[in-house]
Amino acid sequence: MKAEAENLDFVTIEGLLTYGEAIARRPPVEGAEPPPPLASSGDRPQRALEAMVAIRVLVQDAQAGFANAAAYRQARHNLIQQACGGDELVFFAAWNQLLAQGELSSLFQAPIGATKKPIRRRPVAIVPREHMTPNLAEGRIVLDIGDDRYWLMPRDLRDRTLFFTMRHGVSKVDSKKFRVGRRLRNVLDAERGIPKADAIGAALVRTLGLVGKQLDFLQLNNYLDSESFVHMVSNSPNTRQLFERVVSILSPETAEGTQPIIGCALESQDFGWATGIEKTVEVEEAAKAFGVETKVAQRLIKHPLYSYPGGHSFFELYVELVDGFHQLGQVNQGKVLCLYTHSSTLRALLIFLDPRPFNEAFSEFGAYKEGQDNVVLLTYEHGQ
């Protein structure tokens, strides 16, 4: 915690407010839904100091746990309305000042919903030949996928939920260069995004065919009948476009009549007033406000607890995704879910699945490639 505070010792209430106001006053980006207009206020520095007291209480309360992500989100919302007078910039300054002082890091261990990583080792789906044992194969279908590896699939889904989770692909507004997030209605790039979506659909069909044939051979119920799949998207148009391309390849006969469900757990990060800003411009504004070099200012912006003005932090996205995926698994047992989502949510998912503590896993997947279009296969069973 001390090292963390020293690493961000350039952060001040005044610098945060200068930076936050500069971002909030930028003209809105086309297609983006910004937070409410910034209200004029001359006493934000003092109110931010007072709000820090309430945030410390929230962090302390989190150590006792929140029942789920919704309860944590509501407590955060109540704090903004009551302790900050509904002023998002007061909260922005107070929260990130405490971050710089190292006073928020205990949130990483807080039992919020299902975010506590399980102590027991999770079962794996793909196993090298030398690691195969009778115990691993028990109750599962064993598929030889080449390269001395086996894919272990459940024999039935009665007490399980199967997830195929995939990222939308290349979009018109490039998230490598811009802060996109859930407030920007992004669409697939016509030249690169649509062909990639088709490739994902074709690859998924091949995979399902491989397992389906094995299920038929073993005279087991083929739970990979694509016409029975539940499809879920975020509010962003690019995830719906990916769904449309994939389902047209999976089930061409019924594609037109298949409609996806919008899933809150699939939403990208909320960048608030920073939505649509070019990342280089964002960090230059921060460097100017704090009077430091851009590489120093990046330390704050890249921190998983850094909360965007009018938005939230990567950590809060992580809480929403992990708790949301557990809820999806619980209420959809016996079903196969196809989830169409974003790179930030896949990154949060990989961090949770990694056995290491949040901070270590975050560092490992900090450079998750925007162009990585792999499909993450998960099974929900025994509450995990």
Helix runs in 305-383, H state only: 314-331, 343-353, 358-364
Q: Hey, what domains does the chain have and what are their CATH numbers?
A: 2-103+279-292 (no CATH), 157-268+316-381 (3.40.50.1240)
Residues of the chain with pLDDT under 50: 1-5
Q: Can you give the pTM of this predicted structure? A: 0.91
Cα distances (angstroms) measured from residue 26 to each of 105, 196, 275, 301 = 31, 33, 10, 18
Q: What is the pLDDT of residue 139?
A: 77
Q: What is the pLDDT of residue 1?
A: 40
Q: What is the pLDDT of residue 37?
A: 78
Q: What is the pLDDT of residue 254?
A: 85
The 10s digit of each residue's pLDDT in 311-343 is 999 999 999 999 999 999 999 999 999 999 998
Q: Which residues contact 108 (CB under 8 A, 6 or more apart)?
A: 315, 357, 358, 359
Whether residue 113 contacts residue 66, with contact meaning beta carbons closer than 8 Å, is answered with yes
Closest CA to 200 of 246, 150, 143: 246
Strand partners, 143: 151
